Chain A
Amino acid sequence: MSLTRRRTVEGYLLIAPWLIGFLAFTVGPLLASFGYSFTEYDVIRPPTWVGLGNYAAMVTTDPVFWTSLANTAFYTLLAVPLGMVAGLAVAMLLNQRMPGLAVLRSIYYLPAVMPVVANAILWLWLLDPNTGIVNTLLRLVGGPQPGWLADPSWAKPALVLMSLWGFGQAMIIYLAGLQNIPAQLYEAAELDGAGGWARFRHVTLPMLSPVILFNLIVGTINSFQVFTAAFIMTGGGPVNATRFYVLYLFNQAFGYFHMGYAAAMAWLLFLIVVAVALVQFQVIGSRVHYEGSPR
Chain B
Amino acid sequence: MSSAARALPMPAARLRARWPQFLRRAVGFVLVVAGAVVMLIPFAWLVSTSLKPDDQLFAYPPVWIPRYLNWANYTGAWSYAPFGTYLLNTLEITAFTLVGTLASSSLVAYGFARRQFPGRDLLFGLLLSTLMLPAIVTLIPLFLIFKTLGWINTFLPLIVPSYFASPFYVFLLRQFFLSLPPELEDAAMIDGASTLQVITRIVLPLAKPALASVTIFSVTFHWNDFLGPLIYLNDDEKRTLALGLYAFLGEHTAQWGYLMAGSTLMVLPMAGLFFVAQKYFIQGIVTSGFGGR
Nearest 4 A/B pairs, CB to CB? A21-B164, A14-B111, A11-B115, A11-B117
Q: Tell me if B126 counts as interface (CB < 8 A to partner A).
A: yes
Q: Interface residue tally of chain A, by bracket? A: 35 or more
Q: Do B134 and A269 touch across chains, with their CB atoms under 8 A apart?
A: yes
Q: Do A96 and B28 touch across chains, with their CB atoms under 8 A apart?
A: yes
Q: Do B285 and A26 touch across chains, with their CB atoms under 8 A apart?
A: no
CA distance A214 to B140 in the complex (A): 29
CA distance A112 to B86 in the complex (A): 23
How would residues 9 to 48 of chain A score, 1 for a CB under 8 Å from any chain B CB and 0 otherwise?
Answer: 0111111011111101110111011001000000100000
Q: Do B138 and A221 touch across chains, with their CB atoms under 8 A apart?
A: no
In the complex, what's the smallest C-beta–C-beta distance from A274 to chain B, in angstroms?
8
Q: Tell me if B68 counts as interface (CB < 8 A to partner A).
A: no
Q: Tell me if B78 counts as interface (CB < 8 A to partner A).
A: no
Extra A-B contacts (14), CB below 8 Å, given A11-B117, A123-B42: A21-B165, A22-B164, A26-B138, A29-B139, A29-B141, A121-B245, A121-B262, A121-B263, A140-B61, A259-B140, A263-B141, A266-B136, A294-B120, A295-B182
Secondary structure at chain B's binding surface: helix, strand, loop or mixed?
Answer: helix
24 contacts between A and B (CB under 8 A): A15-B107, A21-B161, A21-B163, A22-B164, A25-B142, A98-B32, A106-B278, A108-B39, A110-B271, A113-B271, A113-B274, A115-B224, A116-B224, A116-B242, A117-B246, A117-B263, A121-B249, A122-B45, A196-B24, A218-B290, A227-B136, A253-B140, A263-B141, A270-B137
Name the interface residues of B243-293: CB closer than 8 Å to any CB of A.
243, 245-246, 249, 256, 259-260, 262-264, 266-267, 270-271, 273-275, 278, 281-282, 285-286, 289-293
Asked, given contacts A22-B127, A140-B61, A172-B286, whether A225 binds B249 with beta carbons under 8 Å apart, the answer is no
Secondary structure at chain A's binding surface: helix, strand, loop or mixed?
Answer: helix
With a CB–CB cut-off of 8 A, which chain A residues contact B104? 17-18, 21
Q: Do A270 and B133 touch across chains, with their CB atoms under 8 A apart?
A: yes
CA distance A96 to B31 in the complex (A): 13
In the complex, what's the smallest C-beta–C-beta distance from A240 to chain B, in angstroms?
19
Asked, given contacts A14-B108, A224-B134, A294-B120, whether A111 binds B246 with beta carbons under 8 Å apart, the answer is no
CA distance A259 to B143 in the complex (A): 10
CA distance A28 to B278 in the complex (A): 37
Q: Do A111 and B266 touch across chains, with their CB atoms under 8 A apart?
A: no
In the complex, what's the smallest C-beta–C-beta distance from A188 to chain B, in angstroms?
13
- List residues of A whose CB falls within 8 A of some B CB: 4, 7-8, 10-15, 17-22, 24-26, 28-30, 32-33, 36, 43, 90, 93-94, 96, 98-99, 104, 106-118, 121-126, 131, 133, 136-137, 139-140, 165, 169, 172-173, 176, 196, 211, 214, 217-218, 221-222, 224-225, 227-228, 232, 246, 249-250, 253-254, 259, 262-263, 266-267, 269-270, 273, 277, 291-292, 294-295
With a CB–CB cut-off of 8 A, which chain A residues contact B117? 7-8, 11-12
In the complex, what's the smallest C-beta–C-beta distance from A14 to chain B, in angstroms?
3
With a CB–CB cut-off of 8 A, which chain A residues contact B226? 116-117, 228
Closest to B254 in A: A128
Q: Tell me if B58 counts as interface (CB < 8 A to partner A).
A: yes
CA distance A36 to B226 in the complex (A): 25
Q: Do B141 and A118 touch across chains, with their CB atoms under 8 A apart?
A: no
Q: Interface residue tally of chain B, by bracket? A: 35 or more
Among the interface residues B43, B127, B164, B167, which one has the most CB atoms of the partner chain A within 10 A?
B164
In the complex, what's the smallest C-beta–C-beta distance from A245 to chain B, in angstroms?
9
How would residues 218 to 250 of chain B score, 1 for a CB under 8 Å from any chain A CB and 0 otherwise?
Answer: 001001101100010000000001110110010
Asked, given contacts A11-B117, A254-B231, whether A30 binds B138 with beta carbons under 8 Å apart, the answer is yes
With a CB–CB cut-off of 8 A, which chain A residues contact B242? 115-117
Q: Do B282 and A172 touch across chains, with their CB atoms under 8 A apart?
A: yes
Partner of B164, one of A24, A30, A222: A24
How would residues 131 to 153 of chain B score, 1 for a CB under 8 Å from any chain A CB and 0 otherwise?
Answer: 01111111111111101000000
With a CB–CB cut-off of 8 A, which chain A residues contact B62? 133, 136-137
In the complex, what's the smallest C-beta–C-beta distance from A91 to chain B, in angstroms?
11
Name the interface residues of B101-131: CB closer than 8 Å to any CB of A.
104, 107-108, 110-118, 120-121, 123-124, 126-127, 130
With a CB–CB cut-off of 8 A, which chain A residues contact B43? 110
Partner of A249, one of B46, B136, B281, B282: B136
With a CB–CB cut-off of 8 A, which chain A residues contact B130? 22, 26
How would residues 183 to 214 of chain B score, 1 for a CB under 8 Å from any chain A CB and 0 otherwise?
Answer: 00000000000010000000000000000000
Q: Tell me if B29 counts as interface (CB < 8 A to partner A).
A: yes
Asked, given contacts A11-B120, A110-B271, A294-B120, whether A98 binds B28 with beta carbons under 8 Å apart, the answer is yes
